[in-house]
Amino acid sequence: MDFSIPLAAEVERNVLAALVEDIGGGDLTALLTPDGRRARGIVISRESAVLCGRAWFNACFQRLDPAAQITWHVNDGEQLSVGQSLCEIKADTRALLTAERPALNFIQMLSGTATATRKYVEAVAGTRARIVDTRKTLPGLRLAQKYAVHCGGGTNHRLGLYDGILIKENHIMAAGSITAALAQARALGRNDVFIQVEVENLEQLAEALDAGAKMILLDNMSLQEMHLAVGLTAGRAQLEASGGISLETVRAIAETGVDRISVGSLTKDVRATDLSLRHVES
């Protein structure tokens, strides 16, 4: 997924919403500091992690102080060690104090997603399986979180309902069958989007293959069923495992031979990375 075009606008939208939410009519506590003074701060990592979110972090300070200077020592996607200095900030004292929490919120949350993704990617290393994200994202932060998955080495699924078709149980019931649902999806004439169908057992898998499905999601299947599904498919379609995936189970799932493993917890159950912004003398 190419983030170069939409990301800048998304960063501005996310940061403006975060600052409005936090500042409201003004930062009352920051008014206790002298006006016009400049200050310096450094961000330190308190744990091993994968960095993500520099653009959001920078924008929080530069929105309040266009002259703010942020010097980074590490790039998005790079590994952090305990006690490592990430960056140095020079900015108006009031702007530094006001932007601190929103900036840290962004970089801690996004680094958390990137770090979790990297763990899953490393767990399946050497297999054919790719780790894939889902639409189970924090409201309003989907593109940011999918960028974080990318930084962690994962693969992005569809951004939303508009750029891909995923035929699930309720769609199949409404259409009457997997075959009918796939036919209706193709009739839309949208060659620019992928079509994926979810199956719950090997009988449904066989129907999907006979109907010409090229991307199939195996929903909550056992390891034995996934092994059989890979053999039955014999390369005719890409297979994606989904449902109840954890770090403890993902390696065994990858070894069944599936092509993709979708993990909702990457973006749904986020544990923020522990980072600290320390103020030093200007």
Assess whether 40 carries a catalytic annotation.
Answer: no
Assess whether 198 carries a catalytic annotation.
Answer: yes
Catalytic residue of the set 13, 37, 46, 101: 101
Catalytic residue of the set 219, 225, 255, 274: 219
Determine the Cα–Cα distance for residues 87 and 254; give it in Å rounded to an integer.
37
Assess whether 163 carries a catalytic annotation.
Answer: no
Catalytic residue of the set 65, 198, 240, 259: 198
Catalytic residue of the set 13, 128, 168, 271: 168
Assess whether 214 carries a catalytic annotation.
Answer: no
Determine the Cα–Cα distance for residues 267 and 21; give it in Å rounded to an integer.
22
Query: DSSP of the chain, one letter per residue?
Result: ---TTTHHHHHHHHHHHHHHHHHTT--TGGGGSPTT-EEEEEEEESS-EE---HHHHHHHHHHH-TT-EEEESS-TT-EE-TT-EEEEEEEEHHHHHHHHHHHHHHHHHHHHHHHHHHHHHHHTTTSS-EEE--S---TT-HHHHHHHHHHTT-B---SSTTSEEEE-HHHHHHHSSHHHHHHHHHHT--TTSEEEEEESSHHHHHHHHHTT-SEEEEES--HHHHHHHHHHHTTSSEEEEESS--TTTHHHHHTTT-SEEE-THHHHS-----EEEEEE--
The residues annotated as belonging to the active site are 101, 136, 168, 198, 219
